[in-house]
Amino acid sequence: MNNRKPYLQEQSANWWTENSFYKRYMLRELTSVFALVYALILLWGLYALSGGESSFISWLRIMASPGMVIVHVIGLISTLFHTVTWFELTPKIFYVYLNETKLADSKVAASQYGLFAIVTLIILALAVVWLNGG
């Protein structure tokens, strides 16, 4: 006689509330919502640009409204959180070997932050020159 009756542990839909690691993962995935919103804002701006000067200026006015400023502030925070998590993940996918020994993940991450700082400063500097009519 077989007395086996394995009990199946079904996953609940709110499994991600079980620990802080899962919650941080879900927060990381949610940064994509603001990536989507920002991409659509850019597309909206491009659409306004194609409609001529007055439509572009009215898009600019909407962007200056308090609501849109808040959206951009949240978007910037969310995106910076994405940057942090992205720099945690990439050293695990790309192992860097130096003199036949693996470079520590923290060093790969640090070099990414360095590159991030340089790229951000260059883009912002170019934008300042460009917006000043250079």
Partner 1 sequence: MTQYSRSHHPLIWALFGGGGVVLAFLTPALIIITGFMMPLIYNDDPAALYRHVLGFAQSWTGGVFLTAVISLLLFHASHRIVDTFHDLHVSGPGHLLPILFYGGSAVCGFFTIFLLVSL
Partner 2 sequence: MAQLPKKLPISETRLFGMNDKKQEDSGEGNVSGAMTGKTMQVRVKRYRPEQDKEPWMQDFEVPYSADTSVLDAVQYIKENLDPSLSFRWSCRMAICGSCGYMINGVPKLACETFLREYETLEIGPLANFPIERDLVSNISGFIDKLETIKPYIIREAEKPVSEGEYNQTPAQLAKYRQFSQCINCGLCYAACPQFGRNPEFLGPAALALAHRYNKDSRDEGTSTRMPFLNSDEGVWSCTFVGYCSEVCPKHVDPAAAINQGKLASTIDYGLNLVGLAKTKSSVTKGRESKNE
Nearer to partner 1, 104 or 121 (CB): 121
CA distance 104 to 88: 12
Our CA dihedral for 119, 121, 126, 129, rounded to 10 degrees, sits at: 180
Residue 8 binds to partner 1 (criterion: CB under 8 A): no
> Cα–chain-centroid distance for residue 84?
9
Distance CA(83)–CA(87), nearest Å, equals 6
Q: Contacts with partner 2 in 13-32 (CB under 8 A)?
A: 15-16, 18-22, 25, 29
Shortest Cβ 77–partner 2 spacing (Å): 22
50 in contact with partner 2 (CB under 8 A)? no
In the chain, what is the straight-line distance between the N-terminal and C-terminal CA atoms, in Å?
Answer: 87
Q: How far apart are CA 34 and CA 71, in angstroms?
A: 9
Least distance to partner 2, CB of residue 4, Å: 6
Judge contact between 83 and 116, C-beta under 8 A. yes
- Residue that has been written with the tokens 């925070």 in this structure: 77
**Could you list the residues that contact partner 2 (CB under 8 A)?**
3-9, 11, 15-16, 18-22, 25, 29, 89, 92-95, 100-102
**Could you list the residues that contact partner 1 (CB under 8 A)?**
11, 13, 16, 26, 29-33, 35-36, 38-43, 45-47, 49-50, 53, 56-57, 60-61, 63-64, 68-69, 71-72, 75-76, 79-80, 82-83, 86-87, 115-116, 119-120, 123-124, 127-128, 130-133
